[in-house]
Amino acid sequence: MRTRTLLTLTAALAAFTLPAIAPASAADNVLTTGSAAGDAVAEQAEVTASLASGTTATLYSSATGTTGITCTTSQFTATVDSNPTAPGTASESLTAHTFSNCTSNNVGVTGVTSVTVNNLAYTTTVASDGTVTVSPGTSGAIQTTVVLRTLLGTVTCVYQATNGTLAGTAANTDNSIQFTNQQFTRSSGSSLCPSSGYWTAKYAPVTTGGSAVYVN
Per-residue pLDDT tens digits for 80-103: 999 999 999 999 999 999 999 999
**pLDDT value of position 192:** 85
d(CA 106, CA 91): 37
**Nearest-CA neighbor of 211 among 22, 41, 30?**
41
CA 7 to chain centre: 53
Identify the residue with better confidence: 10 or 213: 213
Q: DSSP assignment, residue 142?
A: -
Q: What is the pLDDT of residue 27?
A: 58
For residue range 115-162, list pLDDT tens digits in order. Answer: 999 999 999 999 999 999 999 999 999 999 999 999 989 999 999 999
Name the pTM for this structure.
0.86
Distance CA 191, CA 83 (A): 44
pLDDT at 18 over 90: no
Q: What percent of the chain stands above pLDDT 90?
A: 84
Cα–Cα distance for residue pair 32/215, rounded to 1 Å? 7
Q: What is the pLDDT of residues 56-72, one digit of tens each?
A: 999 999 999 999 999 99
